[in-house]
Amino acid sequence: MKAQKPVSAGRADLTHQEDLAIGVMNLISLEEHLAMTSAKTNKQEYVHVLGAVRKLRVKLLRKLVTNTEGELWCISKHLLAGTMRLMEVATKYVESDPGAAHDFEKSAFDLYSLFWLLQTPDKEKKESQKTQESDVVAKEEVK
């Protein structure tokens, strides 16, 4: 296993955050499966397990969702849920239709990317935008 480079001060280790996001996605899926199992079996014990899983998911999601403006908490959760569901759909097509599997994986990645975009602090977004704008200006000056 390759050692990871130390993270510069003030920057989150994205690989840890990405691992946490995958864990949260699985917890969201688990919540869905527990809810359906409870409904199908009419057994309340699944609701109790669901409550415990939900509590853990909320705790961990708080570590990921840094922008809670408006409805962004729910939007973030649903982006992760959609990502996980599309990844699961993709796996069902891997052997029968690899092209469709790839399309579902691409859609999952697009949702996942949107999740991270929404977590980017406004200051960082503005700095990135300024860099892009100055690159455009520099290219036009060269012409």
Per-10-residue mean pLDDT, the chain, length 143? 41 79 98 98 97 98 92 96 98 98 98 94 60 55 54
The structural domain count of the chain equals: 1
In a domain, 51, yes or no: yes
pLDDT of amino acid 135 = 55
pLDDT of amino acid 65 = 95
CA dihedral 94→96→99→101, nearest 10 degrees, is -30
Q: Which domain does 105 fall in, by range?
A: 14-123
Instruction: Check if the beta carbon of residue 25 is closer than 8 Å to that of residue 80.
Output: yes
pLDDT of amino acid 67 = 86
In a domain, 98, yes or no: yes
What gap in Å lies between CA 89 and CA 105, rounded to an integer? Answer: 9
In a domain, 131, yes or no: no
In a domain, 136, yes or no: no
In a domain, 74, yes or no: yes
What gap in Å lies between CA 70 and CA 6, rounded to an integer? Answer: 34
In a domain, 95, yes or no: yes
pLDDT of amino acid 66 = 86
Please give the distance of CA 79 from its chain centroid, rounded to a whole number: 6
In a domain, 19, yes or no: yes
In a domain, 35, yes or no: yes
Three-state SS at 4: coil
